[in-house]
Chain A
Amino acid sequence: MRLQDPGPGKWQLFRIWASIGLQSFGGGASTTFLIQREFIEKHRWLSIEEFMHLWNLCILTPGINLVALTVLIGRKLGGTWGIVVSLAGMLLPSAIITCLLAAIFKQIEHVAAVQAVLRGVIPATGGIMLLVGLNYALPLIRRGYKEGVLYLLTSSVIIIACALVVILFKLSVIVVVLCAAFLGALFFSPGPGSPLLEEEQREQQ
């Protein structure tokens, strides 16, 4: 990977995560988008492939995946202190505001203007989430073009199937991820002739 920027200082890391946390409205949609923009596009401390790799680990971890991602990126950019300042930046300012809002919310909950504003904000988070999905899909599709039509087709079918079983059958997310991992191992493992597989066969012999 090309590092085009020197690593961040602790204070800078804290500030970046605090600004990501504070700009994240409507859940994970904008957060993932902001993380990609700050760490991949603006500072180039991570590549998109590396980001996907870290994100995969977060999917396998219990709890809020974005917090796990904060831990991993924090560790990569600043070791143990990186984890501490990243978590503090991501969680503390937002948690304090959430807590204060909880105190205020009860009193303005039924005001019509508040309801109207929310009816605009909620679909907008949907649109932003769609872009995040597209950002994830692009490297996979690019790889699909290289590997051939069958690979691309199988990939698309798995994406759509995962979405449909959750929407139609309310299948547990963990079950869906495990099934996709199994299908992936079945269809996408590097074939014979790949250096990785030969190496493994040598190990077995």
Chain B
Amino acid sequence: MINPFIYFLLFLKASLFSTGGFSNLPSLHQDMIANVWAKDSDFGQSVAIGQISPGPNGLWVISLGYLTYGFPGAFLALIAITIPPLLVLVVSAGYTRIEHRAWVQGAMHGVSLAVVGLLLTVVWTILRQPGVDWKGLLIAAGAFGLALSRKVNILIILGLAGLVGYLLYR
């Protein structure tokens, strides 16, 4: 049977040693499979649910919690992913002490550049998914244009994209 305390600690550990919403997956996969608390298919399904449900993309862990341990699992997963980001308060306290050094300003400029580069890799990853063909790329371009105009609600853009997808691929 699932030990709730250890179950929680596995989720917490995976999130503490990750950055972003998905890099805790390998660690969770190893531990949950080793304990026979999850099947392989639970992971694929959880990530898919995370894609179609609202919230930051790290919330896929909540569906993993639900699929493996019901509502208690979802609750423990939510607590486990909320704790590590609170460390930003520690990071920010340490950072204000050194932020006026010249090298720190240069380094942070470097980090900002890396962030732009990493966003490009996310665009790349999304547009390289198996279901995305040239029509998908046109949808991406259309969504980019609509968002650029700043006149259309993001939910409407995604709704239109879903409708176009339905008409093209059903």
| Residues in A lying within 8 Å of B, measured CB to CB | 21-31, 33-34, 37, 41, 52-53, 55-72, 75, 87, 90-91, 93-95, 97-99, 101-103, 105-106, 109, 112-113, 115-133, 136-137, 140, 155, 158-163, 166-167, 173-174, 176-177, 179-190, 194, 196-197, 199-200
Contact = CB atoms under 8 A, between A and B. Distances in A.
Interface stretch (B1-9, B28-36, B132-140): B132-140
Contacts of B101: 196, 200
B106 A55 contact: no
A162 B117 contact: yes
8 contacts: A31-B56, A62-B18, A64-B15, A64-B21, A125-B126, A133-B116, A162-B121, A200-B102
- Most chain B CB within 10 A, of A41, A55, A166, is at A166
Contacts of A180: 110-111, 113-114, 117
B127 interface: yes
Contact of A21 (B55, B103, B129): B55
Contact of B140 (A63, A112, A127, A189): A127
Majority SS at the chain A contact face: helix
B161 to A, nearest CB: 3
Contacts of A106: 45
A98 B49 contact: yes
Contact of A26 (B20, B115, B158): B158
Contact of A27 (B21, B144, B168): B21
Contacts, number: 383
List of 9 A-B pairs having minimum Cβ-Cβ separation, nearest first? A184-B110, A120-B165, A162-B117, A94-B55, A27-B57, A63-B84, A124-B161, A189-B106, A180-B114
Contacts of A23: 54, 153-155
B58 A25 contact: no
A185 B32 CA distance: 41
A98 B63 contact: yes
A113 B165 CA distance: 9
A62 B16 contact: yes
A30 B158 contact: yes
B110 to A, nearest CB: 2
Contacts of A69: 88
B49 A188 contact: no
Contacts of B102: 189-190, 194, 196-197, 200
